Amino acid sequence: MATNGFLEVRSMANDSAVRILSSVEFHRTSTRILESIETVIDGKRDAVEMALTVLLAEGHLLIEDVPGVGKTMLARTLAKTVDCTVNRIQFTPDLLPSDITGVSIYNQVSREFEFKPGPVFANIVIGDEINRASPKTQSALLESMEEGQVTVDGETSALAAPFTVIATQNPVEMEGTYPLPEAQRDRFMARISMGYPDAAAELAMLHTRENSSPLDDVQPVVSTMELIAMIATVREVFVSSPVEQYAVTIVQATRSDPDLRVGASPRATLHLVRAAKARAALDGREFVLPDDIDALAVSVLAHRLIPANRLSSSGGAASVAAASEAVRRIVATTAVPLGAVGPA
């Protein structure tokens, strides 16, 4: 079942004829995106680069932090820099799965059921405060995030391509939140936090946002087809066998680490390598280095892990800290591959 031409867009994204950008073109385009985002998100270069990395790696991003530090602003700004379809879903306790995926409505004129697409049918879906909805409603995103499709009443509809979910959530220690199930967390390529701004950035915010929001001035700087070309370019980034083995060794180590009760999944390995390819491309390289794996390991792996310590396994701040520390220790003790890592 095609809806709003999305199948046509998906076909173009998977077309082998999509142009691969040169390193100069890729750098020029990615710089436009980053500079546009930083007109709104000041002093958070790492978070901004990570958000773009996930988008180019065809993943989904989870932004977790306390209220008011710019989680939703980052998601909205990234979405506005690309001239594509964007929908925002405000997750609340009374939200139903059909409010996300869509629903079949009976047409009394044609005497047939017609599918009305939900807000998940967009290139970029912003899920605001995703953990304020029940796990049943959260699960409405599982199929779309993994398979790029939605099944309602036995009918399957393809989603747009590219398709990315950028979700924000508050710490589970806060009132009215539901911990994300493990299967949901595992579908997010990476998890980041914003952190508080430094004094200079916060002072500047008082002056720049007194009368209006800088988000109002953000305009698209790349088209959907330019984004598709960037994604296709990232896919072509070379990963040597030693670097692949390095990533596998790190992920497998999480499954036998005594401080972890549940390690990272094979999906995590795929996400780690894909994100590393995007990071390499953003750095102007056509091949992945072990440094790319090291730099991304905590953001890509930690949110999937469950610490062995019961006091640190509730999914809260203690859990995140324990899992992150375990990943850092594993990376620090894993032998880095020697020799050539670029294409021959």
CA dihedral 64, 70, 75, 77 (to 10 degrees): -170
Could you tell me if 224 and 244 lie in one domain? no
Residue after which a domain boundary falls, among 210, 236, 262: 236
Could you tell me if 24 and 125 lie in one domain? yes
Could you tell me if 252 and 112 lie in one domain? no
List the CATH number of the domain containing 324. Answer: 1.10.8.80
Distances (CA, A) of 135 to 96, 177, 242, 282: 10, 10, 39, 35
DSSP string of 116-135? EE-TT-SSEEEEETGGGS-H
Dump pLDDT digits (tens) for 104-137: 888 888 888 888 999 999 999 999 999 999 888 9
DSSP element (H, E) containing 149: strand 149-152
Could you tell me if 289 and 208 lie in one domain? no
DSSP element (H, E) containing 166: strand 164-169
Residue after which a domain boundary falls, among 236, 267, 295: 236
Could you tell me if 173 and 269 lie in one domain? no
Could you tell me if 9 and 136 lie in one domain? yes
Among residues 295, 308, 296, 332, which one has the least CA distance to residue 257?
A: 308
Could you tell me if 52 and 15 lie in one domain? yes
Dump pLDDT digits (tens) for 2-57: 333 333 344 444 555 678 999 999 999 999 999 999 989 888 999 999 999 999 99
Given a contact cutoff of 8 angstroms between Cβ atoms, the answer to whether 115 and 102 are in contact is yes
Distances (CA, A) of 112 to 1, 108, 239: 15, 7, 51
Number of separate domains in the chain: 2
Dump pLDDT digits (tens) for 278-297: 999 999 999 999 999 999 99
- Show the domain range for 323: 237-344
As a whole number, the mean pLDDT across the chain is 88
Could you tell me if 285 and 205 lie in one domain? no
CA atoms within 13 A on the CB side of 340: 4
pTM, to two decimals: 0.89
Of the two residues 168 and 67, the one the predictor is more confident about is: 168
What sign results for the dihedral spanned by CA atoms 135, 138, 144, 150?
A: positive
Could you tell me if 209 and 271 lie in one domain? no
Could you tell me if 245 and 124 lie in one domain? no
Could you tell me if 33 and 170 lie in one domain? yes
List the CATH number of the domain containing 62. Answer: 3.40.50.300
Residue after which a domain boundary falls, among 220, 236, 252: 236
Could you tell me if 176 and 305 lie in one domain? no
Given a contact cutoff of 8 angstroms between Cβ atoms, the answer to whether 5 and 34 are in contact is no
Mean pLDDT of 232-246: 96
